[in-house]
Amino acid sequence: MATQAAPTVIPPESEILTAITSTISDSDKVILQQEFMPRLAGRYKITSVLASGGFAYTYLAEDTQRPSAPICLVKQLQPARQDSTFLEVARRMFHNEAKILEKLGNYPQIPQLLAHFEENEQFYLVEEFIPGNLLSEELKIDERLEEGKVMTILKEILSILVYLHAHGVIHRDIKPNNIIRSSKDGRLVLIDFGAVKEIQPQQQDLTIAIGTRGYTPPEQLAGQPDFSSDIYAVGMIVIQALTGIPPAKLSVDKTSGNINWREFTSVGEELAVIIDKMVRYHFGDRYQSATSVLKDLENLL
């Protein structure tokens, strides 16, 4: 499916602005354009575009109704179609994501939801901005992290999962690009909850297959994610950290379906057994809770 062009951030004055900017420098154009940028919900002034892809756009914005005009993150969902049926589905998914983020509250390692609104049939989430570096920047190809550091990363991500799963939420897209090491306190923060699924008691319905190749287990690809699906993703991050090999490049045992990774690193047998259990092909053979993984890790000490 073709990617849609990013929505314009210049209001109707654009013709006047174009005439003016035709005679000034590029740097002055940027400054002038920022002055013409709209305030979403009459409040959030976009300052830059962070990312765009598919039908979603992410911006940095100033909250002009707070005294210090702090920077926040604005996520825009632009529906692929404008017919009423499609818009209603998009609206339901949008409100579900907002509801889940609000439900997760003020946990320090999950961005706080600040607001959500609909404007001109576009959907917006406003979240706390987390300055820092992506975990993917620490996991360099062909570079292996030492076991102690990997253990620290593993325990910290698992502690976030304990909180998430206790609230009945599966993230479904845990990967290094969705984890930030905060520059404020060095803690890991799990971001991008656009793929979250809330599990209801006795829920049996299929869901859309969402995830990233290499980190997504087979049951999730089949549209049936489980809490152990997130555990699988974390296990693959750990394997990547220990081997220096992106998960999608690792081979799979043809008989068991399990990942072949041990030959590429030297790691203690007890830790290797735990990692193996996190990434078993069959979800029933995996750890069923992040708490269980943490308990076994504690027993290693």
Structure tokens that stand for 288 in this block: 């069923």
Q: Quick one: CA dihedral 45, 69, 102, 53, positive or negative?
A: positive
Q: Which of 173, 205, 226, 285 is catalytic?
A: 173
Structure tokens that stand for 178 in this block: 């969705």
| 63 tagged catalytic | no
132: left (phi over 0), alpha (psi -120 to 50) or beta: left
Q: Are strands 71-77 and 122-128 parallel, antiparallel or unpaired?
A: antiparallel
Query: Nearest to residue 281, comparing CAs of 244, 236, 245, 237?
Result: 236
Rounded to whole angstroms, the Cα distance separating 95 from 117 reads: 9
3-class state of residue 162 by DSSP:
helix
Structure tokens that stand for 41 in this block: 């919900």
Q: Which residues are catalytic?
A: 173
